Structure 1
Amino acid sequence: MPPSARRIKSPQQLIAESGADLEGHGLKRTMGLFQLVCFGIGAIVGTGIFVGLSDSVAEAGPAVVVSFVLAAVTCVFTAFSFAELGSAIPVSGSSYSFAYASLGERLAFLVGWCLLLEYGVSVSAVAVGWSQYLNELLDSLFGFQLPAALSAGPGDGGVVNLPAVIVILLAATLLVRGVRESARATAAMAVLKIGILILFCAIGFSAFEDGNLSPFATHGVAGVTAGASVAFFSYIGFDAITTAGEEVKNPRRTIPLAILICIGVVTLLYCAVALSAIGALGADAVADKPAALSLVVNQVTESTVGGGIIAFGAVVAIASVVLAVMYGQTRILMSMSRDGLVPRVFERISPKSATPVANTWIVACVFAVPAAFASLDVVVNLTTIGTLAIMAVVNIAVIALRRRDPGLPRSFRVPLYPLSPVLGVGFCCYLIWGTGWATWVQFAVFLVVGALVYALYGRRRSRLVTTPEAGAAAAAPRPGA
């Protein structure tokens, strides 16, 4: 099938359009490597480890460490693919733009649709986790908690989760002030939460007992697989680094390096946290416990002070995830809006702050609704399967773009090509299997709705010009590294 029939947009066209000033004001390149690494860690480390650890332990027992490694391996193969594509196509669209340049507009739209799960819905999930630790912090400092009616949705025994809504609105307020201010705040919060997790490990290992790790694989291989599918949520967000492609200095070098640094740091941190938590109290004491890290510290130190410090770190950590993930969602929608696949309001850049102000507030208001009323478990499962599907597509996109445009400049190339992206697809499918049939059905319905939206709205309003000449030009090899 020729590129024009698949409605493919060349990488050169994507890059040129990202630099074009459609509204008279463009994004500014202000982020360096340190800020981008902090942004990546800010997007990753949050609800998944502070809240989701107990769910992973419930599935895998002490073998949750293996689950984290398995989830990390899945991310590493896909991280290689993101690094190559991010260096070749340094624009804000991330996996959406990568799919547009390699697999065509229809699949790109569905990737963008799934990104509503990875970024948009995960904002809601993260905000719900933030509310849980806020209550833990209030209990440690002042001896009271917010009433359940105002701090949990109907599925969790409450009426409306106001803290979750508030943290989303606060993040939006900071984002519309400018990317430089957001990056500084994210960097500060990333450093703080890494320090808090290192402190947790020191406390946990001080009470470590070998016997707490036995039996190791409580639920066998099936438990490790299910635990890995749950643990994968803890890694969601590293690809948000590629959404900053238009606001990073020297993106072709900085983006791949930042992705690989983030995956390495986070994996070591997660394994250490899981091992210290289970070694201190045992898997049964950690499994299915809200605010599990604070619980561990409280019991080890026999005081609520340490747990309060952990709760404070979690409040800061999870808030930074809300900030970083909302940033990613707005940049995805901005790229889709440039292509005409979503309304033009999402591409407008404020001349004062050089940020998509209307876009940011729309995202905040829309995803504050599930944060206010949804259960954490429901949004986590959908977010996980949507992200895994996107990552499988990104691995396929590397192969497709190598074949279609071998001369495209790439400052980073995946090692062991094509084995690496093929393994990436395989690991993604393996973890999708572990999410369970109920999640598969929900995701299938979500994809059908997305396909209808594209057919009825996106394709008709697409700005892509497809002619035989344009298709031939897009398919022709180009010189480069």
Structure 2
Amino acid sequence: MPPSGPSGLRIKSPDVLVAESGADLEGHGLKRTMGLFQLVCFGIGAIVGTGIFVGLSDTVARSGPAVLVSFVLAAVTCVFTAFSFAELGGAIPVSGSSYSYAYATLGERTAFLVGWCLLLEYGVSVSAVAVGWGQYLNELLNSLVGWQLPAALSSPPGDGGIVNVPAVVVMLLAAVLLVRGIRESARATAAMAVLKLGILVLFCAIAFTAFQDGNLTPFAPEGIAGITSGASVAFFSYIGFDAITTAGEEVKNPRRNIPTAIMICIGLVTVLYCVVALSAIGALSADEVGDKPAALSLVVNQVTGSAVGGGVIAFGAVVAIASVVLAVMYGQTRILMSMSRDGLVPRVFERISPKTSTPVAGTWIVAVLFAVPAAVVPLDVVMNLTTIGTLAVMAVVNVSVMVLRRTRPDLPRRFRVPLFPLSPVLGIAFCAYLIYGTGPATWLQFAGFLVVGALVYALYGRRNSRLGRGAAGPPAAGSGDTRPTSVTGHDTLG
């Protein structure tokens, strides 16, 4: 009989999850090299990119000047869920993020479907991010040399493109950097994060010089419906903050640094987005900003009367979007590594290179696999599916923090969700509200995606699960304990 939880679920104890992270199954563990500053930069690197540089125009097109409210509404959704991520990330500091949290609380089937949805949040979203890279690359080339890549080779299908070559290139470049090692990747991400924050601050300074109050009226031309729809689109701009928790096995003092980094990133990014949106609409009108590619460069070009300023913004966008590709691809490989340890996906994803201490094979598979939708899938389709998949995962995380409080009240927690249980309940409610805003077509696409995931679990994951075979994983490295590890309740590894 396979191990099961009190409700007949295959549940893996948090202690076992932490123990497995300290004893890599291939014999070569990940290294803890990231401090708090690098982790914050990693978080900013994962968040700030396509959503604000490319997606701002789509959000403005739906909500008008009320885009500020849309950004705040999306941020509130993230804040409640960020509290839950911070508590769980400190209590269970492993690479699996929300997949591992679901495994420890709601069972293997739910965990697999969470991991399946994370393919949308990390894998498919990196495709969406890469799609936007080509738009700003062309803007940069135009300002530097007066030449652009042909639209057929640099734009997404549906927008004059056939194959988006720059999207493929940026994903392969990110893979090259990731396989070199986490120390090199973290340094590159930190440098790019500081640079793109500086570029956005420069944008605000330029745009505010042409600010006109009249551009903010009418404030909400589409009413509440427009604000809700805009918030669902704006939410894409925040996707990635939970990638911080995927670094659980490569962070120094993770129980303290993971919660702290999450809170810093959410606060900083929310203020930044609102100021950028306000300055952009104040400089032009919502009609001029909405539905325009490379909107930030357009604003600066019109304010300064020169293409030089727009070129600087385009350079910042090229760097920003590349850093998101790097950080999000990192998160996807670590989640697949955790699922591979559990036998739910092929073992190739758990193999760690003894030379670089990175999952080299898994990284290249992810890069090649998701370069395909980046090259040929329209951006709006990718963004909508990514948004709803991420919101579903966040709802599960809020449920998980409530379940873990009940089942493991003794677990060490450096950070505890404030106003518990109101905060996670509100997190679930806001996620449901934004899911509603994605629209029926996206609901149906997501339902089909979940059905496929359930079939994959039934046909492969459940049959190959190590937990189902009674193999929960090795004890912590150096413990000397060769007894079988418990997968439910309280075990001996805590």
1:429-444 matches, cutoff 5 A? 429-444=432-447
Find the counterpart in structure 1 of residue 249 from structure 2. Answer: 246
Give the drift of 1:429: 0.2
Greater Cα shift, 3-12 or 199-208: 3-12
- Residue 16 of structure 1 pairs with residue 24 of structure 2: no
- Residue 260 of structure 1 pairs with residue 263 of structure 2: yes
1:314 to 308, 313, 317: 317
Find the counterpart in structure 1 of residue 473 from structure 2. Answer: none
State how many pairs are aligned: 479
* Secondary structure of the structure 1 residue equivalent to 2:158: helix
1:65-76 matches, cutoff 5 A? 65-76=68-79
Structure 2: distance between partners of 1:52 and 1:214: 21
The CA deviation string for residues 229-256 of structure 1, in whole angstroms up to 9 with x for no partner, is 0000000000000000000000000000
- Residue 302 of structure 1 pairs with residue 305 of structure 2: yes
The CA deviation string for residues 326-384 of structure 1, in whole angstroms up to 9 with x for no partner, is 00000000000000000000000000000000000000000000011111111000000
* 358 and 286 in structure 1: CA distance in 2 versus 1, 3 angstrom threshold: same
Structure 2: distance between partners of 1:223 and 1:202: 28
1:44-55 matches, cutoff 5 A? 44-55=47-58
* Partners of 1:3 and 1:104 within 8 A in 2: no
What letter corresponds to residue 475 of structure 1 in structure 2?
G
Query: Where does structure 2 lack aligned partners over 5 or more consecutive residues?
Result: 471-482
* Partners of 2:179 and 2:356 within 8 A in 1: yes
Give the drift of 1:152: 2.3
TM score, norm. by length of structure 2: 0.95
Find the counterpart in structure 2 of residue 475 from structure 1. Answer: 489
Give the drift of 1:150: 1.3
1:229-244 matches, cutoff 5 A? 229-244=232-247
The CA deviation string for residues 282-325 of structure 1, in whole angstroms up to 9 with x for no partner, is 11110000000000000000110000000000000000000000
Give the drift of 1:154: 3.1
Give the drift of 1:475: 2.2
Give the drift of 1:2: 4.0
Give the drift of 1:144: 1.3
* Partners of 1:4 and 1:471 within 8 A in 2: no
Structure 1: distance between partners of 2:94 and 2:493: 20
Find the counterpart in structure 1 of residue 210 from structure 2. Answer: 207
Query: Where does structure 1 lack aligned partners over 5 or more consecutive residues?
Result: none
* Partners of 2:462 and 2:468 within 8 A in 1: no
The CA deviation string for residues 432-464 of structure 1, in whole angstroms up to 9 with x for no partner, is 000000000000000000000000000000001
2:179 to 153, 176, 179: 176
What letter corresponds to residue 394 of structure 2 in structure 1?
M
- Residue 362 of structure 1 pairs with residue 365 of structure 2: yes
Structure 2: distance between partners of 1:379 and 1:256: 29
* Secondary structure of the structure 1 residue equivalent to 2:26: coil
1:138-287 matches, cutoff 5 A? 138-287=141-290
What letter corresponds to residue 62 of structure 1 in structure 2?
P
Structure 2: distance between partners of 1:25 and 1:478: 24
What letter corresponds to residue 356 of structure 1 in structure 2?
P
* Partners of 2:131 and 2:374 within 8 A in 1: yes
* Secondary structure of the structure 1 residue equivalent to 2:180: coil
Give the drift of 1:24: 1.5
Greater helix share, 1 or 2? 1
Give the drift of 1:156: 2.2
Find the counterpart in structure 1 of residue 133 from structure 2. Answer: 130
Greater Cα shift, 128-137 or 156-165: 156-165
The CA deviation string for residues 72-105 of structure 1, in whole angstroms up to 9 with x for no partner, is 0000000000000000000000000000000000
Identity of aligned pairs, percent? 81
Structure 1: distance between partners of 2:391 and 2:335: 17
Structure 1: distance between partners of 2:412 and 2:280: 45
Structure 1: distance between partners of 2:491 and 2:211: 58
Structure 1: distance between partners of 2:209 and 2:485: 63
* Secondary structure of the structure 1 residue equivalent to 2:8: helix
Give the drift of 1:134: 0.3
1:379 to 374, 378, 382: 382
Give the drift of 1:4: 6.8
Greater Cα shift, 471-480 or 180-189: 471-480
Find the counterpart in structure 1 of residue 480 from structure 2. Answer: none
* Partners of 2:15 and 2:491 within 8 A in 1: no
Find the counterpart in structure 2 of residue 5 from structure 1. Answer: 8
* Partners of 1:128 and 1:371 within 8 A in 2: yes
Find the counterpart in structure 1 of residue 41 from structure 2. Answer: 38
Structure 2: distance between partners of 1:462 and 1:38: 35
Give the drift of 1:158: 1.9
Structure 2: distance between partners of 1:473 and 1:94: 18
Give the drift of 1:207: 0.7
RMSD: 1.6
* Partners of 1:90 and 1:251 within 8 A in 2: yes
Give the drift of 1:155: 2.5
Structure 2: distance between partners of 1:154 and 1:292: 19
Structure 1: distance between partners of 2:343 and 2:486: 23
Structure 1: distance between partners of 2:278 and 2:315: 22
* Partners of 2:178 and 2:185 within 8 A in 1: yes
Structure 2: distance between partners of 1:426 and 1:478: 37
* Secondary structure of the structure 1 residue equivalent to 2:357: coil
Greater Cα shift, 151-160 or 245-254: 151-160
* 71 and 478 in structure 1: CA distance in 2 versus 1, 3 angstrom threshold: farther
- Residue 82 of structure 1 pairs with residue 79 of structure 2: no
Find the counterpart in structure 2 of residue 325 from structure 1. Answer: 328
* 198 and 319 in structure 1: CA distance in 2 versus 1, 3 angstrom threshold: same
* Partners of 1:115 and 1:387 within 8 A in 2: yes
What letter corresponds to residue 474 of structure 1 in structure 2?
T
Find the counterpart in structure 1 of residue 402 from structure 2. Answer: 399
Structure 1: distance between partners of 2:437 and 2:105: 29
The CA deviation string for residues 368-405 of structure 1, in whole angstroms up to 9 with x for no partner, is 00011111111000000000000000000000111111
Give the drift of 1:137: 0.6
* Secondary structure of the structure 1 residue equivalent to 2:81: helix
Structure 2: distance between partners of 1:215 and 1:192: 35
Greater Cα shift, 7-16 or 149-158: 149-158
Find the counterpart in structure 1 of residue 479 from structure 2. Answer: none
- Residue 120 of structure 1 pairs with residue 115 of structure 2: no
